[in-house]
Structure 1
């Protein structure tokens, strides 16, 4: 499988260290191995996506294993759903590659092609340096740089995406796997920031041409020290609303107990 040109939508082929289409649009591979398929005219800001500070916080928190049960459940589902050789899997909003690598590890005996996509160049650079067996690209999830009907599964952990694009790139009988917050996700963290805490609403998602085939909830309590609690805050949207006092309280805490509550849904393409 190859990438698709983000400018003219023709297939890209790898020539030396560049991806090139028949119209001679060229995208060079970085020294870390990833390719940037987000042309400057498509950017909404100079450096879109998570900053280096946010990526470092996320990497340290995830490496400590606090979200491992959710990651392992998603990886197990992928392994069960894609038993055949040469499956092609995309992780949208892959960040620094923590989840993406586990998907690859679970499938590697079946010669998979695993791709990670994120709009943050910093995140993709970190991911490509650490996980050389995975294909990483900087690109927008609103216009996926992949050919029609070329992916067996797409994983979307919190990341936004254009549902029409998912229908375009996923093969018949292929899968979308989503992870979203269930009602009590990070309840105690929210309680520090908001005077009134609302549970996450359980919203049903609908993807044209797909049926929901299963749903799984993963929930447990985390015990965090101050650094870990602060890193957790930094990797969530709540960081923008947190006061300096809240940030200091978290950073200085000796033990912060916080719930996780993940909702994992699997959809299969039928049309």
Structure 2
């Protein structure tokens, strides 16, 4: 379903373009990010019960949604993203979920209707999270750790800087837990270019550095994530 009002669009086709979406889908299909998907599913499995409502904010092509449906039995999964091509792919890949073209700042769900909300590298709005997540429900935010894709940053920028620490305070929620996850990824051939294309690095870095990277056949990258858990306070 497309539930993004025309007057809320900032462009004709908002969100990631098809090139970025296809690159991200190939990376996910290659299982490079499987350790993150497994950690998310395992930790959220501790939070959900049968028939729990789970919302994937900025769900993209549905990779994490699909893993949650596969690994957590009995959940009712909803996904939203402002990209129409991404939502089409998510709906095809996850027929047991419900997906809509919509903004994470204006989600077409009722107040307090979500037991667990998830955001993987996607923007969110505190007021909307407070409205959506039921009392004692959980919100999991996944952000890049300080050294995420550090070798790529070193190759693209003269003075690379670590990713900043995530903001932990969230009005209306208590900080329940924070975890880190690191693992190495060995990229081969097209995978390296796909990782660049699916990230903001597609728009940054020097052209000559990108040309040098394009000539590489393999590269080892550090994956580094921060998982921040927030519990919705009672009304």
TM-score per shorter chain, which class? over 0.9
* 1:48 aligned onto 2:14: yes
Do 2:119 and 2:141's aligned partners in 1 also have CA atoms closer than 8 Å? yes
Structure 1: state its 5+ residue gaps.
1-34
1:95-106 alignment runs, 5 A limit: 95-106=60-71
Q: How far has the Cα of 1:69 moved from its partner?
A: 0.5
User: How many Å separate the matches in 1 of 2:47 and 2:219?
Assistant: 37
1:134-149 alignment runs, 5 A limit: 134-149=97-112
Number of residue-to-residue matches in the alignment: 234
Q: How far has the Cα of 1:49 moved from its partner?
A: 0.3
2:52 maps to: 87
**TM-score normalised by length of structure 2:** 0.96
SS at match of 2:124: coil
RMSD: 1.2
User: How many Å separate the matches in 2 of 1:245 and 1:126?
Assistant: 34
User: How many Å separate the matches in 1 of 2:93 and 2:164?
Assistant: 36
Q: How far has the Cα of 1:204 moved from its partner?
A: 2.7
Q: How far has the Cα of 1:58 moved from its partner?
A: 0.3
Q: How far has the Cα of 1:248 moved from its partner?
A: 3.1
| CA displacement, residues 237-256 of structure 1 (integer Å, 9 cap, x when unaligned) | 11101344333332321221
Do 1:226 and 1:250's aligned partners in 2 also have CA atoms closer than 8 Å? no
Do 2:157 and 2:206's aligned partners in 1 also have CA atoms closer than 8 Å? no
Q: How far has the Cα of 1:233 moved from its partner?
A: 0.5
1:24 maps to: none
Deviates more, 1:164-173 or 1:124-133: 124-133
User: How many Å separate the matches in 2 of 1:102 and 1:203?
Assistant: 25
RCO greater where, 1 or 2, for CA within 8 Å and sep 6 or more? 2
Structure 2: state its 5+ residue gaps.
none
* 1:269 aligned onto 2:232: yes
Do 1:226 and 1:252's aligned partners in 2 also have CA atoms closer than 8 Å? no
1:216-231 alignment runs, 5 A limit: 216-231=179-194
Computing the radius of gyration from Cα coordinates, the structure with the larger value is: 1
User: How many Å separate the matches in 1 of 2:18 and 2:208?
Assistant: 23
2:38 maps to: 72
1:162 alignment partner, one of 106, 109, 125:
125
Do 2:168 and 2:175's aligned partners in 1 also have CA atoms closer than 8 Å? no
SS at match of 1:233: helix
Q: How far has the Cα of 1:268 moved from its partner?
A: 0.5
Do 2:138 and 2:232's aligned partners in 1 also have CA atoms closer than 8 Å? yes
1:233 maps to: 196
